[in-house]
Structure 1
Amino acid sequence: MKIIRPMVYSLFAAMIGTGFFFLHTGQVDSSTGAQRNGATAYIEATQVSASFKVGGRVTELLVKEGDTVKQGQPIARLQSNEIEAKVAQAKAAVGLAQGKIAEATGAEAGALAKKQQGAAAVQLTAETAEQQVAQAQAAVQAAEAKVQALKNGARPEEKKQAEAQLNAAKEVYDVAEQSLKRMNTLLAEGLIAKADADKAKVSFEEAKAKYELAQQQAALVNQGPRPEEIQGAEAMLKQARASLRLAEAGREQVRIRQGDVAAAEAAARQARGAIQSAESGKLQAEASQLEAETYLSYTELLAPADGIIVAQNAQLGELVGSGFPIYTVEASGSRWAKFYLPETELTGLKSGDNVSLKLAATGAAVQGKVQLIAPAADFAVKKATHAAGDTDIRSFGVKIELTEVPENTATGMTVQWAGRAEEGVRP
């Protein structure tokens, strides 16, 4: 026992001395920035929440945790029956507005056609009325001449007059015949009413009868007038005068047709107003359709970025609100780690410098590049030292973009600082 006890004491003393030796060695290395265990940080990556813009009941979940997704890929859907009905309603309103536009356009075309047709009829009626007045005036003159000739008796001059009346009746007949042919042509083309053609026919028949009568009167001039002939001539004069009044009254048809033209023009303006109103209604309906379709698109959730689904926060049939994160996506691309280094290790370090790191779990090398050095100290991790002659040492955040990472390295794993790349990994 006396021999064992000193041996135990010696062993304890050796162990304590060794501990002090290693502790002292670590302190010295730490003071130079070359300690064996460097600063540590965690591998981080961007995580994006995938949320609906509108609330509703979840009807489809198209991906699950661990699935890889592409940006814009559908990953979930909400119940959309009500919004689909609004879309259908908006489309029906657009179709109705288009129908109104077509209807108003047809009405405008019809009114313009009536206006054009009416303008042509006004011109034709005016010309016809003037011709009929001229014809009637000629007939009156012929009748008056005949009556006067009969009363004066048959004389050489009367023979000349009878011959003149015959010529006048022939002229009236020719005019009436030409007018009848023209009116029949216009009637066939649909430019005048049948009543106008009938009037021309009546005028022609009258002119024909007068011409035949003039022929008979010229033949009987030499025989002298009989009382009944004078009475007949006077009756014809009355009839010619009546025809003149009728022809003069026909001038009123011009004003009537001008009124039809004005009415057609007003109808065309009304149709144009209806077109503008229908087009405004169509624009409003299209805006409502676009709004409804936009809300319908909100019921389909698209992946916000390329990456991996790391969390699913909703279940089928669940009622979720606008902005509720249905999935969490870890975005593909660069990863980083943020170290908090004492100011003593920042000398010469700048953005863009290549640095070496290593995985704490496996020791595998990781390469990175300094992306950002915080311009101000991080007081939350400041380390104060109060040993004799020492000063406070502040820490600064250094963000490292990881450029080369071993395969199957999970986000969240610990990496250790190993210094700038040109310095190599420190022992």
Structure 2
Amino acid sequence: MKARLILVLCLIAGLIVGGFFLLDKKEAAGKNLLEGQPTAYIEGDESKVSFKLDGRIEELLVDEGDVVKKGQVIGVLQNDELKAKVSQAEAAVSVADGQINEAKAAQSTAVAKTEQGNAAVNVTAETAAKKVAQAEAALKAAEANLEALQNGARPEEIKQAESQMKAAEEIQKVAKDNLERLQTLLEHGLASQADVDKANTTYQEAKGKYEVAKQQYEIAVQGPREEEIKAAKAQVDQAKAAHELAVASQDEVLVRQGEVKAAEAGIKQAAGAVSTAQSGKSQAEAALAEANVYLSYTQLIAPTDGVIKTKAAEVGELVSAGFPVFTLEQAEERYSKFYFPETEISNIQVGDWVQIEVIATGKKLKAKVVSISPAADFAVQKATQNMDDTDIRSFSVKVKYENIPNDVKTGMTVKWLKLLGEHNGN
């Protein structure tokens, strides 16, 4: 009897100790195993892919379920008209280039003509001025010579010519006497032949000067002959003609200067043509760029990596700009949103890693808490009539998956199993 009592007391004590142990273990695990294990489904961001232009679909290069890469062409609109506009714009640019080259060539030609004209005018103007001055001097000399011949020699000029003639005659006489004396001495052997030859040369020079002086005296006394006056008049006429020609050449310089000014105006005109042609090219290039942009709009480009989820149009259909031809599920990140009551949300922190189970396959996934809603979403428990009873509201917790397997599809249901902590994602 006494042994039975002791056994009962031991059992009771063991149950009490075990209860405390289980309670302590449950409290310790409560931070990881929450009271509820909410479910959610796998989601992924979606993009509606549409053309930027109205048009008829010519090609659709992908279908539902196809994997696409960012920048991949996945559809094409009919674009013959836009291609023609691009060709026209390219031709307009080529024409503008030709016009620019022509205008620049004309500008270069005008510049060259102006430079050559300036150089020629500068040289011609200087030469013409010199010729006019020379012609004026020659005309004045000819007119002075004619006037002198027509007026005859003045008395003082006649007297001067007579004096010069007498002086030359006296020099001739002295030279002759010296020559005769030396010839006599040579006959007696008292002088050399060289002395005689030198005296003879001196005599001949003196004789020639005397003849010239004598003729000048006679001309001064008699006056000019008629033929000399005629020759002088001819020289005056010739000088006048030369002077008129020189003045005419100077007038021609003025004409050439006008031509240079016209060439300079041509430079400005050519520069204006170049500017106009360049402006035309800029307009043509802008039209070409615009045509190329619109042509590019006929291609449907995948905005990101992902999987084609839905296709809403077929080849040959007429679609409007902005119509969602494809729905693209982005492949970069997939996530789930779980909802927890406010009584449990304090145990979850952004950055915690979580173990998730795919209900359909039983696979375990790792996910990271990336956000917790800052405000409650809805009530998961309404207050009753009991005293001190209140609503219990829920908060959304968003997790993103790491290395999700290919056989886990968007839309599959998943269950929150437990928290792994902040550093258990590896």
* Alignment TM-score > 0.5, same fold: yes
Give deviations 1:320-376, integer Å, cap 9, x for gaps: 110111111111122111111111221221111111221111322122111111111
Larger Rg: 2
Shift of 1:40: 0.8
Q: Is residue 368–residue 404 contact of structure 1 (8 Å, CA) maintained in 2? A: no
Which residue is 2:381 aligned to? Answer: 383
Partners of 1:348 and 1:157 in 2: how far apart?
146
Q: Is residue 364–residue 406 contact of structure 1 (8 Å, CA) maintained in 2? A: no
SS in 2 for 1:236: helix
SS in 1 for 2:346: coil
Partners of 2:354 and 2:331 in 1: how far apart?
22
Partners of 2:48 and 2:421 in 1: how far apart?
39
Which residue is 1:275 aligned to? Answer: 274
1:131 aligns with 2:130: yes
Alignment of 1:350-369 (within 5 A): 350-369=349-368
Partners of 1:258 and 1:401 in 2: how far apart?
87
Q: 1:35–1:43: structure 2 CA closer, same or farther, 3 Å change rule?
A: same
Q: Is residue 350–residue 369 contact of structure 2 (8 Å, CA) maintained in 1? A: yes
Which residue is 2:43 aligned to? Answer: 44
Alignment of 1:46-85 (within 5 A): 46-85=45-84
Partners of 1:284 and 1:404 in 2: how far apart?
53
Give deviations 1:153-185, integer Å, cap 9, x for gaps: 699979x99xxxxxxxxxxxxxxxxxxxxxxxx
SS in 1 for 2:343: helix
Give the TM-score normalised by structure 1.
0.71
Partners of 1:250 and 1:235 in 2: how far apart?
23
Q: Is residue 383–residue 395 contact of structure 1 (8 Å, CA) maintained in 2? A: no
Q: 1:129–1:157: structure 2 CA closer, same or farther, 3 Å change rule?
A: farther
Give the TM-score normalised by structure 2.
0.71
Q: Is residue 34–residue 418 contact of structure 2 (8 Å, CA) maintained in 1? A: no
Shift of 1:52: 0.8
Partners of 2:141 and 2:405 in 1: how far apart?
125
SS in 2 for 1:415: strand
Q: Is residue 309–residue 327 contact of structure 2 (8 Å, CA) maintained in 1? A: yes
Give deviations 1:104-129, integer Å, cap 9, x for gaps: 11111111111111111211221221
Partners of 2:140 and 2:34 in 1: how far apart?
140
Which residue is 2:416 aligned to? Answer: 417
Q: Is residue 45–residue 331 contact of structure 1 (8 Å, CA) maintained in 2? A: yes
Partners of 2:267 and 2:34 in 1: how far apart?
95
SS in 2 for 1:421: strand
Q: Is residue 352–residue 421 contact of structure 2 (8 Å, CA) maintained in 1? A: no
Partners of 2:39 and 2:385 in 1: how far apart?
25
Shift of 1:403: 2.1
Which residue is 2:299 aligned to? Answer: 300
What is the identity percentage for the equivalent residue pairs of Structure 1 and Structure 2?
Answer: 50
Partners of 1:362 and 1:249 in 2: how far apart?
114
SS in 1 for 2:42: strand
Which residue is 1:242 aligned to? Answer: 241
Which residue is 2:285 aligned to? Answer: 286
Specify the code of the residue in structure 2 equivalent to 1:386.
Answer: T
How many residue pairs match? The answer is 333
Question: What stretches of structure 2 of length at least 5 have no aligned partner?
Answer: 1-29, 162-214
Partners of 1:151 and 1:394 in 2: how far apart?
143
Shift of 1:388: 3.7
Partners of 2:372 and 2:285 in 1: how far apart?
53
Shift of 1:317: 0.7
